[in-house]
Every structure is written in structure tokens, then in C-alpha cells.
Amino acid sequence: MKIAYDAKRFFHNTSGLGNYSRDLVRILSRYFPENEYLLLNKNKSERGADILQHQNVRFVETSKGQMSRQFKMGKDAQKAGADLFHGLSGELPLRWDKKPIKKVVTIHDLIFVRYPQYYSFFDRKIHFWKFRKAAESADRIIAISEQTRQDIIQFLKVPENKIEVIYQGCHQAFKEEQTDEFTGLVKEKFSLPERFILNVGTIEERKNLLNIVKGIQGTQIPLVVVGRKTNYFKTVEAFIRKNKMQEQVIFLEGVSMDELAVLYKLADIFVYPSFFEGFGIPVIEALFSKTVVITSNTSCLPEAGGPDSMYVDPGNERDLKAKIKFLWDYESERKRRAEKGFEFVQKFNDEAIAGQLIRFYQDLIH
């Protein structure tokens, strides 16, 4: 099989969509080396350079011109002899020639429909048009969670039998044991407290950091936060200043993937009370790191967290505070849930996901 990918996110996105794209190509090229994987984009970057070194992965420069991703990338894939084209981020090219090629699109979430207040009017309209168009032209659709599958059926009016749920995994760094020496360097570099709880993700309203801060107010529990700041950060910062919590809440920047893996492993608890997610990769990262998780009882988060994570109503800061304090105080319960969570998360291992993806492709082509 020769499989072509829209590699824009692969080369140019640092988090979410970029990680999904790179992990998907990485695991397929490793476990199914007999196939050829073509990365189509107008240029390369250093991101994913290690994956491009695999013999069965190659970069294909797309035709030049205005909106070439929409109007020329599909034809470029056909010209390269691809059997299948996979749009990795909710989009597919708009034009194709007559040469046969199967089309797949991954849709990650429809948060812009469920929570329009987080998006501009223009962005909502563009996103909806692109997603609906891609869903119509795709032969099959991959949803990254059961929640997203239900949303595609409801909002894009797609028949159920056109969609398959294939979960995503996470970066290899979270599954590896970092050395004691490296762990010590990370502790020193970021001046980490002896014990802390951790939150990872863009600092935006939907991710609900303010309620974590309110949840630890009046306790001695340190919180470490890793994530890109948006305007919402000012709201959180104002609350921290007003309540003199500057020493208790630590914001880290410039954290590498290997350093982040150490932070997860060092944390007593990972706290992620997001109002809504398409999947919630940080939950998977924490479980692979053998760290107990507190997350929301909404959207797909129970799918990612499994039966032994602890769940809260994300709007209820008292519920959150009670559960943080309970796990903080009971080491045996933290360990028990972390061990069970580690057993559960094995279903998101690379080999299992790669197998699902390749069967999905083969069923479509044959």
C-alpha cells in the first residue's frame, strides 16, 4: 500500500494535531514497514525529521500556487501513485483527477459547535464548512473518541457506518524510564517542590485552570502548570495575586517532551478538569507515567481515564478540592489507582493502534 498524508500539521504544529500526525506515521512505519508513507506539504521542518529517516517514509513537495493544499495536494497524491489519502486534521483537498484513490479524514472534535463562545464567528463558519465538506467527500471517517463519533453523527449528519473510532496514543517519552540523573537535572532546572500536583494544557477558559487554583486555595498543596498562555491567563493570574498564591502556583515554560515526561512521573496527582475535550491526550500521558488522574466526568474524558481515575463535575470547585485533598492525603489510594490506570492505558499502546489503523486502510482498499 502507498498511503499519502496531508503533512501540514506533521511539520508545523508543536502540540495536539502535530503530535497526532507524527505519532500516526511513526507507529505505522515501524509496525508495517512493507507500506510506503508519503508526507505531502509545500515544505519540511525539523519536526518529525527522525521519522523521515525511516526508509519507507518520504517527503513529497506539493505543487506551487495559491491554495495548493486545497486545489493541488490531492492530485499530487494521485500523481505519486497513492492508493489512499488521509487528511489528519479534519480537512481534505477539494480537487482530484479521475485516477482512483480512497479518501480518509480524521476528525478530532467539534468543540467549535458545542462551545461557540470560545471561537470567532468567522472561525466557526470556516471550520464547519471544511469539516462538513471533508466528511462528505471521505470514503470513511476516523473519530478519535466515541464522543467525537456521536458529535459527527449529530452535527455533520453523517451515517454511523461511515465512522470508526480509533483512539490515539501518546509520545514515546511517557512510556520510557528516564534516568535518575536526568530526573535530578529536571528537578533542579525548574526548582520543583518535593511534592506537587500537575496540570498540562493550553491555559484557556475551556481547560478550567482557575477551578484547580480555587481547589487548592487554603491548602499547602503546590500546583505546577505547563501550557501555552492565552488571554485567560490574566484571569487566573489576577486570582492568584489577589489571594497571595504566587508561591503555591508555579508556571513553567520551555519544557521539552523528555522533561515533561519527568514532570508527570514526579507529580503526586495529575489534575485535568476540562469542560470538554475531543480526547484528552494529557490523561493518557499521565496514566502511562503511573500517575493518578483527577479529570472531568464530561465528554470523552472517562473514555481516556478508565474506571480507576477519579472524576469531578468541572464546574464544582468544592468537589474538585475534596478529591484533590483526599488523594493528596492517601498514598495507598494514589498508588492503587495509578497501578490500575497503568493496566487500563495499555489499550492505547502503539502496536494496538497501528494494527487498528492498518486494518481500517486495508478494508477500504480491498
The pLDDT of residue 18 is 87
Place of cell 518529525: 48
Q: Which of 44-48, 177-181, 321-325 has the lowest mean pLDDT?
A: 44-48
Measured CA to CA, the distance from residue 172 to residue 288 in angstroms comes to: 10
Classify each residue of 270-305 as buried b or exposed e, where b means 16 or more C-beta atoms within 10 Å of its C-beta: bbbbbbbbbbbbbbbbbbbbebbbbbbebbbbbbbb
Name the strand (E) or helix (H) holding 6.
strand 2-6
Listing DSSP states for 130-177 in one string gives HHHHHHHH-SEEEESSHHHHHHHHHHH---GGGEEE------GGGGS-
| Residue pair 339/310 in contact by the 8 Å Cβ criterion | no
* Tens digit of each residue's pLDDT (9 = 90 or more) over 325-362: 999 999 999 999 999 999 999 999 999 999 999 999 99
Residue-wise pLDDT for 238-293, tens only, equals 999 999 999 999 999 989 999 999 999 999 999 999 998 888 899 999 999 999 99
pLDDT average, residue stretch 138-167: 95
Angle at 10 between CA 40 and CA 364, to 5 degrees: 65
307 neighbors 287 (Cβ within 8 angstroms): no
Residue type, 189: K
Rounded to two decimals, what is the model's pTM? 0.89
Report percent pLDDT > 70 for the chain: 100
Instruction: Give the per-residue pLDDT at 13.
Output: 83
Closest C-alpha among 304, 340, 298 to residue 319: 298
> Helix or strand or coil: residue 261?
helix
Phi and psi, residue 110, nearest 5°: -125, 45
Tell me the CA distances in angstroms from 53 to 30, 49, 114, 350, one per residue in order.
Answer: 11, 7, 40, 19
152 has a pLDDT exceeding 80: yes
286 CB-side CA count, 13 A: 31
Q: Could you give the C-alpha distances from 250 to 190, 192, 228, 237, 266, in angstroms and in order?
A: 9, 9, 14, 11, 15
Reply yes or no on whether the pLDDT at 15 is more than 80. Answer: no
Return the closest-CA partner of residue 285 out of 16, 11, 87: 16
Q: How confident is the model at residue 89 (pLDDT cuts 50, 70, 90)?
A: very high
> pLDDT band for position 28 (50/70/90)?
very high
pLDDT of residue 297 exceeding 80, the answer is yes
Q: What is the mean pLDDT of the chain?
A: 94
Q: What is the pLDDT of residues 35-78, one digit of tens each?
A: 999 999 999 988 889 999 999 999 999 999 888 899 999 999 99
